[in-house]
Structure 1
Amino acid sequence: MTRADDRQGRIDLEAADWLAAIECGTADRQAFEQWRSGDPAHALAFIRVSQIGRDLDFLREAGLSDKFAAPQAASDQTIASRRKLLALGAAGALAAGLGGLGWTFAAAAHEAETAVGERRRIVVAKGIALELNTDSRVKWRRQGGAYDVELLRGEVMLEREPGGDPCRLHCGQSQIELAAGGRVDARSSARGVDLSVLEGEASLKTPDAIAAVRVPPLRKAKVVAGEPPSLSAISRIEAGTVSAWQQGQLHFNGESLADAVAEYNRYLSRPIEIADPSIRQLRLGGRFSATDPADFCKALNAIYGVSAHFESDRIRLTRS
């Protein structure tokens, strides 16, 4: 074995160790990022074992991966068996091509999140994709031939193409199973969860309902703890309002200024503040950039004579 082969083998083992630790939830993300960014070979090795790891998941789910591990504590056994499987796979793998460069830390860890004002699209598996809105967090896993996606914070758009694997979205204690060809938006808040089925159909299960509820396309379900889900129809215009954030926009259609500002502040590091209570109930409409409220403020001034004062830590709205 040449020195180059020995070095590559060591890097592959390190990458397998990192992936095993990430999937078990024991990895130090900062240390991982330092390792991965320290050498291009590290990043490529991690991409390679991540891809191999997806192909080996069925072995772990079937219990076959235990054959590679000596008896140890449960968490150590999981890491060791996963490491050996990945190392064996990495040894015979071809180097990752450009297509693999989209495989990220989040995909390997089965978890992803966004910062305020950020959007992120992730292909979970063939035929299943999700897009995270501002300040959101999700995690997912493959189990029994299906994918379970859990919304931990914020808002997510989940899409399942025809032919894609079964997919379930979990929001707290509620679960929505998305049919093939479906697209659903889920938004979590302190008041509960809003589910909007924009395409296809879904089946909704909640702890407070006797049976699963069928949710056809262009329907919105409001889920509040302690109450059965309430369904209402939405128009195609309203559906466009729900999904406008995917184009980096906010779409208002008769909302009060107070509600519009609350929606805007989900995306802004410098929040908008209504300094004059008399303007809180002004009604407005239109499409605006979600992360740049300049045009929004100009429209308020032109239509209602509301002035925006851009300060270092906030934007104050007052009547001129």
Structure 2
Amino acid sequence: MGRVTGTQERIDAEAADWHAAIECGTADRQAFERWRSSDPAHALAFIRLSQVDAELSYLRESGLGERPLVDETPPAPPALGRRRLLTIGGIGVVAAGLGGLGWSIAAAAHTAETAVGERRRIVLAKGIAIELNTDSRVEWRHGDRLYDIRLLRGEVMVERAAGSESCRLHCGRSEVDVAAGARINARFARSGVAVSVLEGGASLRTPGPSGAIPLPPLRKATIADGTLPALSALSPIEAGAVTAWQQGQLHFNGENLEAAVAEYNRYLPRPIVIADPAIRQVRLGGRFSATDPTEFCQALREIYGIAARVEPDRIRLTRG
């Protein structure tokens, strides 16, 4: 029995070493595949470890609150012995994962997402944090002192403090290198991807021969497939509108009603519908709750004579 235990502990230790090398970006892929495929016990041990690592990462993320970036440090995982750590994972997960284990799983990617109307803040490392807006999804990996973050859906704010590791944001086919001390907002929209630099700076790379494009503070880049990025300055009011979602608000400054309703519907399980085409171009402004349109509808009624009728599956706007 002691021999069996010793053999398993050796395999568990090798699996932990491979996992650490992959996380750090120093693993030899071919050597790892040879080790994994040489014995089913190797694959079993590695899957168990990967599963437990994912669970610990989730616990780390979900325990974070709405805190400023300064001096943030992710909480340490529980102190577990290597043998204990490797035996927590379930055999059912191991059996299900054997056939499809590939390098993408071994690379230990982490994902997070939000539901409609939800926000979520995650500290990736000391000095690096992301915040997801409504109905958003991101994936990130860490290797070779670089955090690679990929926006898959919705909107994200990336914050990188001075002295932290390098950070790169992927949005579709574009890449944004986030400078130390920067705060960057990225969002998928109908026209493509909008990248706004609120603080610090960034460098944008898109497919094509344009090369790296520097983005200083208060600069916005709109990127559509097949075209060069459109650059524009951000006024303090516009920058406030970009970041308003972090306070659970929407800021409108001259947008028409059609655009304002489209923005609101990103946050509402019961959408607002414009039933009268004649009011679509009404221009409006103000600051409102992103998830509760009560004051917004009240302002439409009092200022513009637009009535809001609450129905079971929608809020219907008509000329009052």
TM-score, normalisation: structure 1: 0.73
RMSD: 3.6
Tell me the distance in 2 between the aligned counterparts of 1:74 and 1:275.
Answer: 65
Distance 1:229 1:74, change over 3 A: farther
What is the match of residue 187 of structure 2?
Answer: 187
The 5 A counterparts of 1:245-260 are 245-260=245-260
Q: Secondary structure at the match of 1:299?
A: helix
Deviations 1:24-67 (A, max 9, x none): xxxxxxxxxxxxxxxxxxxxxxxxx9xx9996655663349968
Contact conserved, 1:273 with 1:314, CA < 8 A, in 2? yes
What is the match of residue 221 of structure 1?
Answer: 221
Distance 1:74 1:158, change over 3 A: farther
Unaligned runs of 5+ in 2: 6-11, 53-59, 64-74, 79-107
Q: Secondary structure at the match of 1:245?
A: helix
Q: Secondary structure at the match of 2:242?
A: helix
After alignment, is 55-64 or 249-258 more displaced?
55-64
Q: Secondary structure at the match of 1:241?
A: helix
Using the TM superposition, give the Cα deviation of residue 80 of structure 1 relative to its aligned residue in structure 2, in angstroms. Answer: 3.3
Contact conserved, 1:117 with 1:134, CA < 8 A, in 2? yes
Contact conserved, 1:60 with 1:66, CA < 8 A, in 2? no
Contact conserved, 1:65 with 1:81, CA < 8 A, in 2? no
The aligned amino acid for 1:159 is E
Tell me the distance in 2 between the aligned counterparts of 1:101 and 1:251.
Answer: 39
Tell me the distance in 1 between the aligned counterparts of 2:315 and 2:139.
Answer: 34
Contact conserved, 1:65 with 1:82, CA < 8 A, in 2? no
Tell me the distance in 2 between the aligned counterparts of 1:121 and 1:53.
Answer: 30
The aligned amino acid for 1:253 is N
1:289 has 2:279 as partner: no
Using the TM superposition, give the Cα deviation of residue 70 of structure 1 relative to its aligned residue in structure 2, in angstroms. Answer: 4.2
Contact conserved, 2:128 with 2:164, CA < 8 A, in 1? yes
Distance 1:253 1:76, change over 3 A: farther
What is the match of residue 105 of structure 1?
Answer: none
What is the match of residue 135 of structure 1?
Answer: 135
The 5 A counterparts of 1:93-132 are 99-100=75-76, 110-132=110-132
1:62 has 2:23 as partner: no
Tell me the distance in 2 between the aligned counterparts of 1:278 and 1:85.
Answer: 57
Q: Secondary structure at the match of 1:251?
A: strand
Q: Secondary structure at the match of 1:267?
A: coil
What is the match of residue 271 of structure 1?
Answer: 271
Q: Percent identity?
A: 57
Deviations 1:226-260 (A, max 9, x none): 11111110111110100000000000000000000
Tell me the distance in 2 between the aligned counterparts of 1:57 and 1:192.
Answer: 33
What is the match of residue 150 of structure 2?
Answer: 150
Unaligned runs of 5+ in 1: 1-5, 7-12, 21-48, 88-95, 103-107
1:159 has 2:159 as partner: yes
Deviations 1:2-45 (A, max 9, x none): xxxx9xxxxxx9xx9xxx9xxxxxxxxxxxxxxxxxxxxxxxxx
What is the match of residue 169 of structure 1?
Answer: 169
Q: Secondary structure at the match of 1:253?
A: strand
Tell me the distance in 1 between the aligned counterparts of 2:196 and 2:245.
Answer: 14
Tell me the distance in 1 between the aligned counterparts of 2:162 and 2:172.
Answer: 27
Q: Secondary structure at the match of 2:164?
A: coil
The aligned length equals 263
Tell me the distance in 2 between the aligned counterparts of 1:255 and 1:74.
Answer: 63
Higher helix share: 1
Contact conserved, 1:196 with 1:218, CA < 8 A, in 2? yes
Distance 1:75 1:185, change over 3 A: farther
What is the match of residue 80 of structure 1?
Answer: 45
The aligned amino acid for 2:200 is G
Tell me the distance in 2 between the aligned counterparts of 1:279 and 1:85.
Answer: 54
TM-score, normalisation: structure 2: 0.73
